[in-house]
């Protein structure tokens, strides 16, 4: 049994192990060498690997990602740490029009990892965007959204051994979540989800911070006689639709849960895909739980109203299985 570490520590552990094994890996961003990043995600790596491999960068997201693209095209494995993925907006040409297309245009590897925190945790509209669907919509990008320390470590190790650009999203509210992690060769593959809670009546497909909220809703519904199966997709590009289909073939009902706005999001994609592939096997419409189509509020009261909770998830499940709910 491994010591329990936080999600941020799990990320650092996985990154450090890969940096020891592969001298081509380097990490750069703002406040990294001395401070270790805003969540301590690379704390101590500067002392171990030195300034050549843990670099402080000027606060220009476009310059950081552009340097990462160039480094990856010249034999290195850069990790660009943006701290907040919200500020990737200033580097979208470098991400979408360059990094994502290198393999398609020139057949060259692009082993670039861009890490950032995502999701809602207070602090206003500009630091609380849930924009995973932006990246997942772009061919050529892989997008990880782990919900546990073990998956965080396993996914970053997979990302650092791959050949494609990866957007690595760690939810702010999960930074201090503790759990066990795997060893140096315990990798988590992209595109493969897991069952977090088995059930027979209805399937919940989710990822990231809403996994624990979905499990909490499932435990609440179990007391009402409704057994919910909760799937953690772990990556949203690629999506493990096969896992979702296998589960829904048994439960015949699906609720998709995201923290991001429902409009145009990952939940809409999953709902459309399952409506196409299992149209004749569903006992009801696919339901979605997500945020309203509004900027993230600063007011705590409005923020609470705009953020999906376990109670919101339970309410949607009761609509999906009305005959069994109390």
Distance CA 174, CA 6 (A): 8
**Strand partners of residue 79:** 27, 113
Residue 127 is among the residues annotated as catalytic for this protein? yes
Q: Which segments of 22-173 does DSSP mark as H helices, in order? A: 45-49, 61-73, 92, 102-106, 132-136, 149-159
Which among 294, 292, 282 has a CA at the least distance from the CA of 320? 282
Longest CA pairwise span in the chain (Å): 62
302 — phi, psi (to 5°)? -70, -35
Which among 185, 218, 172 has a CA at the least distance from the CA of 39? 172
Q: What angle do CA 85, 89, 90 make, to 5 degrees?
A: 110
User: Which structure tokens are listed for 85?
Assistant: 């993925």
Query: Among residues 38, 127, 137, 263, which one is catalytic?
Result: 127
In three-state secondary structure terms, 314 is helix
**Strand partners of residue 28:** 55, 80
Under 8 Å between Cβ of 179 and 5: yes
User: Which structure tokens are listed for 203?
Assistant: 């399937």
Q: Which residues are catalytic?
A: 127
């Amino acid at each position: 049994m491994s010591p329990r570490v936080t999600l941020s520590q799990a990320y650092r552990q996985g990154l450090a192990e890969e940096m020891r094994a592969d001298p081509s890996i380097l990490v750069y961003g703002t406040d990294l060498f001395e401070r270790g990043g805003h969540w301590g995600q690379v704390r101590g790596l500067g002392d171990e690997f030195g300034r050549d491999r843990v670099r402080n960068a000027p606060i220009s997201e476009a310059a950081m990602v552009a340097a990462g693209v160039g480094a990856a095209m010249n034999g290195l494995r850069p990790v660009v740490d943006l701290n907040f993925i919200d500020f990737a907006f200033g580097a979208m040409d470098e991400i979408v029009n360059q990094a994502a297309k290198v393999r398609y245009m020139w057949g060259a590897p692009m082993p670039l990892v861009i890490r950032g925190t995502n999701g809602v945790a207070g602090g206003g509209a500009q630091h609380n965007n849930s924009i995973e669907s932006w990246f997942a919509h772009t061919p050529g990008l892989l997008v990880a959204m782990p919900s546990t320390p073990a998956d965080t470590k396993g996914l970053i190790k997979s990302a650092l051994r791959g050949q494609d650009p990866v957007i690595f999203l760690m939810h702010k509210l999960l930074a201090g979540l503790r759990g066990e992690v795997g060893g140096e060769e315990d990798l988590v593959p992209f595109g493969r989800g897991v069952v977090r809670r088995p059930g027979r009546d209805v399937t919940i497909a989710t990822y990231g911070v809403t996994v624990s909220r979905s499990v909490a809703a499932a435990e609440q519904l179990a007391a009402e006689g409704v057994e919910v199966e909760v799937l953690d997709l772990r990556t949203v590009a690629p999506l493990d639709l096969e896992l979702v289909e296998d589960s829904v073939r048994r439960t015949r009902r699906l609720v998709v849960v995201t923290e991001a706005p429902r409009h145009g999001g990952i939940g809409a994609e999953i709902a459309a895909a399952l409506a196409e592939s299992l149209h004749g096997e569903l006992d009801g419409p696919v339901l979605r739980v997500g945020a309203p189509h509004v900027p993230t509020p600063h007011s705590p009261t409005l923020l609470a109203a705009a953020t999906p909770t376990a109670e919101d998830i339970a309410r949607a499940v009761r609509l999906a299985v009305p005959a069994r709910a109390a």
